[in-house]
């Protein structure tokens, strides 16, 4: 034991540990080098595909179409790394217009989804629906040298013609009538190609679908039944349209892959009239004379009340019972923060929950019975509003739009006095076509209109339309709080 102890005492342990660590790191680095640079050093480069042929279908756009696999190839004993490039081209083109993909180092596979491969094939000018042969080549390059290798394989492919990614509603039943420039967009399902949906109010009349704003062709029309679509590309082809016999709310679903359409009439809102009562409102707690909400003529599920409110409470009676014993729309809890959008129908008015205004002033209240949400928003009027449109003195020149005059006594009131030609107009709040507007509630209202609507972002793009018979000099008065408009012909 003494001899062993003396031997150990003579060893420089920090130096020995450092030597051991360097040795281990050297072994590790050598392993990494061989793992990355010296795999199958003398193996030939080879490429293969997971399938011999693929017929692409848009309904499977997100699924895997094919995988290209290749071996490591050789670095010719250099211990240098190998990088790879994959080339795809139509057969017989000698890769002159190939799609090249840099795969980097230590990468031995490239997978393509159906959509990715189809886009690539169309970019190579292969015909949709026609089988063709694709050539694939992988080229290896040994880093720091001129050494390289390549190998080729083939794949039978049949691409498809993808359907449109935009679809619009047009017709006298549609919100913006037959105006192709203002056609109503449907919403594309991002995970399902060719699937579109829309919900809204349709008028009695006809409609069809177009793929591009401003262009009547191509269009999707009614096929052999009200649930079938037909693709129309020429004026000489039949122009059958879908028919709405009863105005109302509708839900439309379109599937362009199986050429079907579903048009479902929605149920009517539970109430066609609503009121507001409470000491925050002008008529207070007088249940026999409450203030009335305004129903949105473009969406009967939506009710609005815009007014100067006092500090106090309010709730929304339906008058389905006798006075206070009736049903009320109320908040989810008593006196919630006004940023809360929750609302409920309380049968019989108990428990008696109310909204509370703590800061008196102008407010805009919007109640949506379809989504069961309420928005209570303090209102500050704009300082400037303009008039733009071909009915106005400066036409559609938004940078030179005609200003309205703000009433010195009432900041919510603006007026325009001057000529209106036959044509259209609306009220922008900025000199910007993508800004906010005051617009008519429904498209093409004329000089008999008495209501208007604040439209953030200007969509849907409704406008007033002045006919040749109505053209002349006018005083137009708008109230931006109560959202009213008055035309007085001079």
Of 172-181, 318-327, 473-482, least confident by mean pLDDT is: 318-327
Please tell me the distance from the alpha carbon of residue 248 to that of residue 41, in angstroms, as a whole number.
Answer: 73
Q: How many residues does the chain have?
A: 490
pLDDT band at 15 (very low <50, low <70, confident <90, very high): very low
pLDDT tens by residue, 391-427: 999 999 999 999 999 999 999 999 999 999 999 999 9
Res 267: pLDDT? 74
Average pLDDT over residues 432-454: 94
Going by C-alpha positions, the residue among 404, 443, 449 that lies closest to residue 424 is: 443
Res 35: pLDDT? 42
pLDDT band at 321 (very low <50, low <70, confident <90, very high): low
List, in order of start, the domains of the chain with CATH numbers: 47-158 (2.60.40), 168-265 (2.60.40), 275-378 (2.60.40.3620), 386-489 (2.60.40.3620)
Res 453: pLDDT? 96
Average pLDDT over residues 283-289: 94
Q: How far is CA 452 from the centre of its chain?
A: 26
Q: 144-153, 292-301, 313-322, 356-365 — which one is most confidently predicted on average?
A: 356-365
For the entire predicted model, the pTM comes to 0.55
Q: How many CB atoms lie within 10 A of CB 490?
A: 9
Res 36: pLDDT? 43
Of 57-61, 168-172, 254-258, 363-367, least confident by mean pLDDT is: 57-61
Q: 14-23, 142-151, 312-321, 475-484 — which one is most confidently predicted on average?
A: 475-484
Q: Does residue 207 contact residue 213 with C-beta atoms inside 8 Å?
A: no
Q: Is it true that the peptide bond before 379 is cis, omega within 30 degrees of 0?
A: no
Q: How many CB atoms lie within 10 A of CB 448?
A: 7
Res 42: pLDDT? 64
Q: How far is CA 456 from CA 323, 362, 381, 439, in A?
A: 37, 19, 14, 10
- Mind giving me the DSSP string for 113-129? EHHHHHHHHHHTTPPTT
Res 191: pLDDT? 74
Dihedral angle over CA of 219, 220, 226, 227, nearest 10: -170
Res 12: pLDDT? 53
Res 174: pLDDT? 93
Res 41: pLDDT? 54
């Amino acid at each position: 034991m003494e001899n062993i102890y003396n031997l150990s005492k003579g060893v420089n342990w920090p130096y020995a540990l450092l030597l051991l660590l360097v040795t281990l790191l050297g072994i590790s680095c050598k392993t990494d080098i061989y793992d990355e640079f010296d795999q199958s050093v003398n193996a030939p480069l080879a490429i293969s595909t997971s399938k011999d042929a693929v017929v692409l279908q848009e309904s499977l756009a997100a699924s895997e179409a094919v995988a290209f696999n290749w071996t490591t190839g050789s670095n010719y004993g250099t211990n240098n790394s190998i990088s790879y490039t994959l080339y795809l081209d139509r057969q017989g083109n000698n890769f002159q217009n190939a799609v090249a993909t840099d795969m980097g180092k230590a990468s031995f596979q490239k997978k393509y989804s159906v959509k990715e491969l189809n886009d690539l094939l169309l970019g190579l000018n292969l015909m949709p629906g026609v089988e063709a042969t694709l050539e694939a080549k992988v080229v290896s390059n040994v880093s720091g040298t001129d050494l390289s290798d390549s190998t080729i394989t083939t794949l039978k492919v049949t691409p498809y013609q993808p359907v449109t990614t935009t679809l619009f509603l047009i017709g006298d039943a549609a919100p913006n009538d037959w105006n192709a420039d203002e056609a109503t967009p449907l919403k594309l399902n991002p995970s399902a190609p060719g699937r579109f949906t829309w919900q809204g109010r349709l008028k009695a009349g006809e409609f069809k679908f177009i793929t591009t704003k401003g262009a009547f062709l191509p269009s999707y029309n009614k096929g052999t039944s009200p649930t079938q679509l037909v693709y129309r590309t020429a004026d000489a082809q039949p122009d059958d349209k879908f028919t709405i016999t009863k105005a109302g709310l509708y839900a439309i679903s379109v599937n362009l892959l199986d050429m079907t359409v579903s048009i479902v009439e929605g149920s009517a809102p539970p109430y066609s009239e609503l009121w507001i009562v409470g000491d925050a409102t002008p008529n207070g707690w007088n249940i026999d004379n409450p203030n009335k909400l305004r129903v949105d003529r473009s969406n009967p599920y939506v009710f609005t009340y815009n007014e100067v409110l006092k500090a106090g409470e309010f709730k929304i009676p339906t008058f389905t019972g006798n006075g206070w014993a009736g049903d009320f729309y109320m908040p989810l809890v008593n006196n919630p923060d006004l940023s809360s959008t929750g609302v409920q129908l309380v049968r019989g008015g108990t428990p008696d929950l109310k909204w509370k205004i703590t800061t008196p002033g102008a407010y805009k209240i919007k109640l949506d019975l379809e989504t069961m949400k309420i928005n209570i928003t303090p209102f500050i009027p704009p300082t400037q509003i303009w008039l733009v449109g071909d009915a106005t003195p400066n036409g559609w020149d938004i940078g030179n739009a005609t200003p309205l005059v703000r009433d010195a006594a009432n900041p919510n009131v603006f007026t325009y006095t001057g000529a209106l030609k036959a044509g259209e107009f609306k009220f922008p709040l900025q000199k910007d076509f993508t800004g906010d507007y005051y617009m008519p509630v429904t498209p093409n209202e004329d000089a008999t209109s008495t209501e208007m609507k604040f439209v953030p972002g200007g969509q849907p793009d409704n406008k007033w339309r002045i006919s040749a018979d109505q053209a002349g000099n006018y005083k137009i008065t708008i109230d931006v709080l109560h959202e009213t408009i008055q035309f007085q012909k001079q």
